[in-house]
Amino acid sequence: MGRLFGTDGVRGLANGSLGPELALRVSAAAAQVLRRGKSRPTAVVGRDPRASGEMLEAAVVAGLTSAGVDVVSVGVLPTPAVAYLTAIYDACLGVMISASHNPMPDNGIKIFAAGGRKLDDAIEDRIEQLVHEGDFLRPTGAGIGRVLSLSGSDGRVEEHYSEAGTHERYVEHLVEATGRDLTGLTVVVDCAHGAASDVGPAAYREAGARVIAINAEPNGLNINDRCGSTHLDGVRSAVREYGADLGLAHDGDADRCLAVDATGAIVDGDAIMAVLAIGMREAGELAHDTLVATVMSNLGLHIAMREAGITMRTTAVGDRYVLEELRRGGFALGGEQSGHVVFPKFGTTGDGLLTGLRLLARMAETGRGMADLASVVRTVPQVLVNVPVADKAAVAESAEVREAVLEAERVLGDTGRVLLRPSGTEQLVRVMVEATDSDRARQLADDLAKRVAAV
């Protein structure tokens, strides 16, 4: 049996590989592992607006309450909002039901520990073991968890647990973290018909910006449908149509943000991190003058940071590894090329809305357009070849492949980069070569791919 947890929670086809039975077992197991010995633990549960989220939320709530955990259901909110509320409500765990940027038929269960922190491998392994064994705590009588009413009609719920209260607290948190009035800036926000469709435009407006919201009418079926951070044509067109200063595109659970400048040119996660890192360094906010990114960030980002006097730390692919390095080194900014950006001072996970707000704040602070700010990153040509293999481990141990990589690195010197990375889900090895000369990058990538295929 394969590992239950992927790089970001449990994900699959809703009512297929991820059905209500599994959702119940995962949440019951998580409650047992994360309850911190409390006699009356609490969990925060949120979801994105896809239709299957209603079904899976019912199963998650059943699993948590069956394990003796009280549940605060906060409704449709972004993933980083659930992490934030888990922390400020001192809950033992948080559960977000979302498949992020995946198509509508998929869904997922993301679990946060106390403080809104992502789970490490050891805790995921303990939860998975319990799921398979089915040895759950099953309190009875008064020991069964309760669902705390957002309406407060039963008199048991404080005002800050109301749905309006949870949404407002998150918006206030975002605006406080923005650090600057955005009056005078016009922004197009593509909400992907997702979890940020209400709270996203509200946060940008509260910070002072003029907001044109698109794809902000979720119906349960249209999330990520040819919109959002994986389909940028809509936000590019809208920026040009309205003469906006910036376009921002979020994914279904709004933990990502990609940008479009006033000309309609795409500003990816690497350029976003560069703009933010330089601004934070100038303000004395970039701890140890260091930015954390994954190995997939373009060489152009490394060069730009070196020229700006900023050190880069690189991690394996996945925002969880970025988070681990941020915590370990006490750093203040990290992220991925895909648009996950983390500010540890303000949150425990990637927050697309905060990223967008901070980009706008940098524009307001400098009076410069995004095209100008993002020009510090000159993207180096990159070639990626996916090579089917019979045994990924054999490739990693191959002396011939190692020698071929060393030879390619000698050829490139400091003008390029080579990366071989086994896929986490398929029998593939990804061969990536970056070089200032695109023809050389292609030739070296093809040569390495042949060596890998021959193992």
Structure tokens at 311: 């050190």
251 annotated ligand-binding residue: yes
pLDDT at 162 over 70: no
Higher pLDDT, 425 or 296: 296
Q: Select from 359, 338, 339, 337 the least CA-distant residue to 245.
A: 359
What pLDDT score does 6 carry?
A: 85
Backbone phi, then psi, for 21, in 5-degree steps? -65, -45
- The alpha helices in 134-250, defined as continuous H runs, are 163-178, 199-206, 233-242
What pLDDT score does 39 carry?
A: 80
What pLDDT score does 253 carry?
A: 97
Structure tokens at 131: 């799921």
Beta bridge partners of 335: 293, 341
Q: Using the CB atoms, write b or e for 249-264: b if 16+ within 10 Å.
A: bbbbbbbbbbbbbbeb
Examine domains 10-161 and 382-453 and report if their fold is the same. no
8 Å CB contact between 105 and 225: no
Structure tokens at 9: 């929670």
pLDDT at 1 over 70: no
Q: What is the pLDDT of residues 259-283, one digit of tens each?
A: 999 999 999 999 999 999 999 999 9
pTM of the shown model: 0.91
> Which of 34-48, 69-83, 351-365, 370-384 has the lowest average pLDDT?
34-48
Of the candidates 100, 197, 229, 338, the residue annotated as catalytic is 100
Find where tokens 């009609």 sit.
153
pLDDT at 344 over 90: yes
Q: What is the mean pLDDT of residues 111-130?
A: 95
pLDDT at 84 over 80: yes
| CATH class of segment(s) 10-161 | alpha beta
Residues 6+ apart with CB under 8 A from 43: 31, 64, 69, 70, 71, 72, 86, 91, 92, 93, 94, 95
Residues above pLDDT 90, as percent of the chain: 88
8 Å CB contact between 47 and 56: yes
Longest dimension (CA), the chain: 71
Q: What is the pLDDT of residues 39-55, one digit of tens each?
A: 889 999 999 999 999 99
C-alpha–C-alpha distance, residues 321 and 327, integer Å: 10
Question: How much is the CA Rg of the chain, to the nearest whole Å?
Answer: 23
C-alpha–C-alpha distance, residues 195 and 82, integer Å: 11
What pLDDT score does 286 carry?
A: 98
pLDDT-derived band at 155 (thresholds 50, 70, 90) equals very low
Q: Select from 275, 187, 267, 188 the least CA-distant residue to 227.
A: 188
100 annotated ligand-binding residue: yes
Tell me whether residue 151 is one of the annotated catalytic residues. Answer: no
Q: What is the pLDDT of residues 307-336, one digit of tens each?
A: 999 999 999 888 889 999 999 999 999 999
Domain boundaries, the chain: 10-161, 168-374, 382-453
What pLDDT score does 163 carry?
A: 62
Cite the beta strand spans of 191-332 per DSSP E: 210-214, 246-249, 258-260, 266-267, 290-294, 311-315
pLDDT-derived band at 424 (thresholds 50, 70, 90) equals low
What CATH superfamily is the domain 382-453? Alpha-D-phosphohexomutase, C-terminal domain (3.30.310.50)
Q: Select from 105, 10, 94, 111 the least CA-distant residue to 51.
A: 105
Q: What angle do CA 153, 156, 161 make, to 5 degrees?
A: 80
Strands 70-76 and 147-148: parallel
pLDDT-derived band at 423 (thresholds 50, 70, 90) equals confident
What pLDDT score does 298 carry?
A: 94
Q: What is the mean pLDDT of the chain?
A: 93
Q: What is the pLDDT of residues 184-199, one digit of tens each?
A: 999 999 999 999 999 9
Q: What is the mean pLDDT of residues 62-67?
A: 97
pLDDT at 444 over 60: yes
Query: CA dihedral in degrees (231, 234, 235, 241; nearest 10)?
Result: 160
Strands 416-422 and 428-435: antiparallel
What pLDDT score does 398 carry?
A: 94
253 annotated ligand-binding residue: yes
Strands 70-76 and 290-294: unpaired
pLDDT at 157 over 50: no
C-alpha–C-alpha distance, residues 50 and 14, integer Å: 10
- 338-343 long-range contacts, Cβ below 8 Å, gap at least 24? 338/229, 338/256, 338/269, 339/229, 339/251, 339/256, 339/257, 339/258, 339/268, 339/269, 339/272, 340/255, 340/256, 340/269, 341/257, 341/269, 341/272, 341/273, 341/276, 343/177
Q: What is the pLDDT of residues 190-246, one digit of tens each?
A: 999 999 999 999 999 999 999 999 999 999 999 999 999 999 999 999 999 999 999
SS (H, E, C) 85-121: HHHHCCCCEEEEECCCCCCCCEEEEEEEEHHHEECCH
Q: Does domain 168-374 have CATH number 3.10.450.50?
A: no
Neighbours of 268 (CB within 10 A): 20
pLDDT at 437 over 50: yes
What pLDDT score does 161 carry?
A: 60
What pLDDT score does 152 carry?
A: 44
